[in-house]
Amino acid sequence: MNNFLDNIKEAKCIAIIGHINPDGDCVGSCLGLYNYICDNYENKQVDVYLQPIATKFRFLKGADLIKNQSEDKVYDLAISLDCGDTDRHGEFSGIFANAKETICIDHHRSNTGFGNYFYLDADASSTCEFLYRFICYGTISTECAECLYLGMVHDTGVFKYPATSEETMTIAGKLISKGVRTQYIIDETFYKVSYNQNQLTGKALLNAKLHLDGKVISTCITTDMFKEFNTTKDDTDGIVDKLRVTDGVEVAILAYQKGEDLFKFSLRSISYVDVSKIAIAFGGGGHIRAAGVDIKGDFDVTLDKILKMIEEQL
Three-class SS state of 198: helix
Q: Which does 291 bind (CB under 5 to 8 A by kind): Mn ion, ligand 5GP, none?
A: ligand 5GP
Q: What is the DSSP secondary structure assignment for residue 85, as one 8-state letter? A: S
Phi, psi torsion values for 100, nearest 5 degrees = -70, -35
Tell me whether residue 62 or residue 285 sits nearer to Mn ion (CB atom): 285
Which residue has its beta carbon closest to ligand 5GP? 292
Tell me whether residue 211 or residue 264 sits nearer to Mn ion (CB atom): 264
User: Which of 85, 143, 155, 250 touches Mn ion (CB under 5 A)?
Assistant: 155
Rounded Cα gap, residues 82 and 131, in angstroms: 10
The residue type found at 88 is R
Tell me whether residue 147 or residue 291 sits nearer to ligand 5GP (CB atom): 291
Phi, psi torsion values for 259, nearest 5 degrees = -165, 180
Residues 88-117 that bind Mn ion (CB under 5 A): none
Minimum distance from CB of 84 to ligand 5GP (Å)? 4
Rounded Cα gap, residues 206 and 235, in angstroms: 16
47 binds Mn ion (CB under 5 A): no
Residue 31 in contact with residue 62, Cβ under 8 Å? yes
Rounded Cα gap, residues 29 and 148, in angstroms: 6
Minimum distance from CB of 279 to ligand 5GP (Å)? 6
Closest CA to 108 of 92, 96, 121: 121
User: Which of 47, 82, 129, 250 touches Mn ion (CB under 5 A)?
Assistant: 82
Tell me whether residue 5 or residue 122 sits nearer to ligand 5GP (CB atom): 122
Phi, psi torsion values for 271, nearest 5 degrees = -140, -20
Q: Which does 85 bind (CB under 5 to 8 A by kind): Mn ion, ligand 5GP, none?
A: ligand 5GP
Tell me whether residue 19 or residue 61 sits nearer to ligand 5GP (CB atom): 19
Q: What is the DSSP secondary structure assignment for residue 83, as one 8-state letter? A: -
Tell me whether residue 75 or residue 92 sits nearer to ligand 5GP (CB atom): 92
Minimum distance from CB of 275 to ligand 5GP (Å)? 9
Rounded Cα gap, residues 49 and 117, in angstroms: 20
Q: How many CA atoms does the CB half-sphere of 46 hold within 13 Å?
A: 24
Q: Which does 48 bind (CB under 5 to 8 A by kind): Mn ion, ligand 5GP, none?
A: none
Contact footprint for ligand 5GP (CB under 6 A)? 84-85, 88, 108, 110, 266, 284-287, 290-294
| Contact set with Mn ion (CB under 5 A) | 25, 82, 127, 155
